[in-house]
A and B are shown apart, each in its own frame.
Chain A
């Protein structure tokens, strides 16, 4: 934790990101200006390193900076100060277009309310991230069908979201988050809208992805959900308050957290 002054480009060049650290955040601050003179410092200089293959949970009460953290991690927003390297690329100063590109290529999103696109079928929903990378979708149909099979929806390829249950929709969203083979999957309360049984199923699916080597970052306020992660970060007042090492990072993932 770096309480300190604003992080600027003049600051000494940081060491290159760890060999297996896919996320490296240094002194990230986020300042919002609320109408007029009122400023809110949502993040006050956060440092974080996440290694490949790890499973990270972020917890915290509302107003702790949890959502802001998620937005910055997901490249939906840029920090006011500090640096963020994602897969060796500094994304903290990227243009809007480059950031969109980075999101599409490096990050898979899973949302609380699934956020499938209503007018598209299951298969087409899975293809959306590919579409925005300018890929010819015809070459990826087999892969998308494979992903649908992995989440157990191979018989629903041409259904529309409103013909699926919540659990099924969330599984489509998981398939969609994987289609780009992203560096990490960012899940925002993935079980928030599901009953406990389907929630369990979705969490097990996420566990399976992690066991297969995917890096997972999960935001939740449910302790039992967080308990599946290797590391649990508790945020408070725009800082990482404490970190719990829940269970060891699997042996195939090298390197350690800061």
Chain B
């Protein structure tokens, strides 16, 4: 019985709204835009943070990355004080790598890297590259995968072999029409045999010799055994530029410390910093913790969501006020009808219900259409701006829920105003 009456009330509400189609449609528009913008904004926010998180996750959430930095005071000295013939010594050492491995609890692996910029040549092709001297477990730590051939092995390291693994990007540039495996490439003065092709999980930032990050990441890497790098290039790297020449002594450019699990990362973070500080009297390294970056990104996302969400919520609020305005006008316009219904036995709550249902039908109808448009709008954004957007189910639920709540909240006042009308006055109303 109750449900029957409710269904009839809903049908009556729809009928009453259909009596003024344009008015109802315009009123709904406010809610449509509100719901649509809630969904779209949250989708954009979600997409942006997803991209940021993905790129951080690629660094490895179990890893702590320590990088050599040129100490700021020395960098200045070098550039201003006519660094001719000067030799800088800074950065991480092999001893650091050993200490990290032996003292930090929960360490799984310690991966040292020497990164040297050199041109790599094959036949007539010459490509500027990063020559990375590293150890055989590089793929396990960074998540890179072999496309063909094999990675460096322990016997390569022991024998200081002249072998190398190249990335897919470099393979494309250096060997446009050949299979690179077993060919030899020339780096600096030496020849290296290509034994494998590697697909990087994330593109490492290109590094200058000074250890600063610069420009876009490039997929031009050559991996050689660490020992080979040490003997072929030496510890002192010399850079000649425009008549001056700079020499730096850097043992390792980067150490990636792989921890057993995320919990170990938490405690190891400060231990790594403290340990290294004991052995470095100058500020020549930086510690990057992807897990921490991830946390920061998540926090940023939360703030982003709050800002975007409140902008969208304000548009819903405006839509709700529009609905209330129209409903108040409707109540005035239909005062006579209210009087008649009261005379024919309608109780106050019947009248409240009737107008509340009308408002909720408006707002839920607008909400439904807003959801439909909200599904389309983010893909348009993606199409035109190339921003990634992700529509989450909860944002749709929130937007739709808010639209329903807006209907009830903003319908309550007009509906109770209608119910409070005196039947006699209402019947007399022209």
Chain A residues with CB under 8 Å of chain B are: 71, 74, 76-77, 96-97, 100-101, 103-105, 109, 111, 115, 117-120, 128-129, 131-134, 136-137, 176, 180
- Are A119 and B16 interface neighbours, CB within 8 A? yes
A132-B346 contact, Cβ under 8 Å, with A111-B427, A115-B340: yes
A97-B424 contact, Cβ under 8 Å, with A128-B341, A131-B8: no
- Are B5 and A134 interface neighbours, CB within 8 A? yes
Contacts of A117 in B (CB 8 A): 337, 340-341
Q: How far is the CB of A130 from chain B (nearest CB, A)?
A: 9
A96-B348 contact, Cβ under 8 Å, with A76-B343, A118-B19, A119-B16: yes
Cα separation A221 to B18 with both chains bound (whole Å): 40
Identify which of B12, B18, B345 contacts A133 (C-beta below 8 A): B345
Cα separation A258 to B16 with both chains bound (whole Å): 48
Cα separation A74 to B340 with both chains bound (whole Å): 12
13 CB contacts below 8 A, A to B, read: A77-B424, A96-B347, A97-B347, A97-B348, A115-B427, A119-B12, A119-B18, A119-B19, A129-B344, A132-B341, A134-B2, A136-B1, A136-B4
Contacts of B19 in A (CB 8 A): 118-119
Identify which of B2, B336, B345 contacts A100 (C-beta below 8 A): B345
**Residue in B closest to A113 when the chains form the complex, CB atoms:** B336
- Are B337 and A109 interface neighbours, CB within 8 A? no
Q: Is B180 an interface residue (CB 8 A)?
A: no
- Are B343 and A109 interface neighbours, CB within 8 A? yes
A100-B4 contact, Cβ under 8 Å, with A76-B424, A111-B427, A118-B19: no
**Residue in A closest to B19 when the chains form the complex, CB atoms:** A119
- Are B345 and A103 interface neighbours, CB within 8 A? yes
**Residue in B closest to A96 when the chains form the complex, CB atoms:** B348
Contacts of B45 in A (CB 8 A): none
Q: Is B15 an interface residue (CB 8 A)?
A: yes
Contacts of B336 in A (CB 8 A): 115
Interface residue range, chain B: 20 to 34
Cα separation A96 to B337 with both chains bound (whole Å): 18
- Are B348 and A137 interface neighbours, CB within 8 A? no
Contacts of B18 in A (CB 8 A): 119
Contacts of B423 in A (CB 8 A): 76
Identify which of B5, B340, B342, B427 contacts A131 (C-beta below 8 A): B5
Q: How far is the CB of B429 from chain A (nearest CB, A)?
A: 11
A101-B424 contact, Cβ under 8 Å, with A136-B4, A137-B8: no
Flag B230-258 by CB within 8 Å of A: 1 or 0 each: 00000000000000000000000000000
Cα separation A104 to B346 with both chains bound (whole Å): 7
A132-B4 contact, Cβ under 8 Å, with A119-B19, A120-B15: no
Identify which of A103, A118, A119 contacts B344 (C-beta below 8 A): A103
Q: How far is the CB of A220 from chain B (nearest CB, A)?
A: 17
Q: Could you tell me the dominant secondary structure of chain B's interface residues?
A: helix
- Are B341 and A74 interface neighbours, CB within 8 A? no
Identify which of B2, B12, B343 contacts A74 (C-beta below 8 A): B343
Flag B336-374 by CB within 8 Å of A: 1 or 0 each: 110111111111111000000000000000000000000
- Are A104 and B344 interface neighbours, CB within 8 A? yes
Cα separation A137 to B5 with both chains bound (whole Å): 9
Contacts of B427 in A (CB 8 A): 76, 111, 115
Cα separation A128 to B339 with both chains bound (whole Å): 13
- Residue with the highest number of chain A CB atoms closer than 10 Å, among B2, B341, B345, B427: B345
A128-B344 contact, Cβ under 8 Å, with A77-B424, A111-B427, A136-B1: yes
Cα separation A100 to B8 with both chains bound (whole Å): 20
Contacts of A96 in B (CB 8 A): 347-348
Cα separation A109 to B343 with both chains bound (whole Å): 8
Contacts of A120 in B (CB 8 A): 12, 15
Flag B15-56 by CB within 8 Å of A: 1 or 0 each: 110110000000000000000000000000000000000000
- Are A132 and B344 interface neighbours, CB within 8 A? yes
Contacts of B342 in A (CB 8 A): 76, 100, 103
Cα separation A115 to B423 with both chains bound (whole Å): 13
Contacts of A133 in B (CB 8 A): 345
**Residue in B closest to A136 when the chains form the complex, CB atoms:** B4
**Residue in A closest to B345 when the chains form the complex, CB atoms:** A104
**Residue in A closest to B20 when the chains form the complex, CB atoms:** A119
Q: How far is the CB of B103 from chain A (nearest CB, A)?
A: 81
A132-B15 contact, Cβ under 8 Å, with A77-B424, A115-B427: no
Contacts of A176 in B (CB 8 A): 344
Cα separation A150 to B145 with both chains bound (whole Å): 89
Query: Given A115-B339, A119-B15, 13 more contacts at CB 8 Å?
Result: A74-B343, A76-B342, A76-B427, A97-B349, A100-B345, A103-B342, A109-B344, A117-B340, A118-B19, A132-B344, A132-B346, A134-B5, A136-B4
- Residue with the highest number of chain B CB atoms closer than 10 Å, among A71, A104, A109, A120: A104
Q: How far is the CB of A137 from chain B (nearest CB, A)?
A: 7
Contacts of A71 in B (CB 8 A): 424
Flag B272-296 by CB within 8 Å of A: 1 or 0 each: 0000000000000000000000000
Contacts of B5 in A (CB 8 A): 131, 134
Cα separation A136 to B5 with both chains bound (whole Å): 8
**Residue in A closest to B342 when the chains form the complex, CB atoms:** A100
Contacts of B349 in A (CB 8 A): 97
Contacts of A118 in B (CB 8 A): 19, 337
Contacts of B346 in A (CB 8 A): 100, 104, 132
Cα separation A111 to B340 with both chains bound (whole Å): 9
- Are A132 and B347 interface neighbours, CB within 8 A? yes
Cα separation A71 to B339 with both chains bound (whole Å): 12
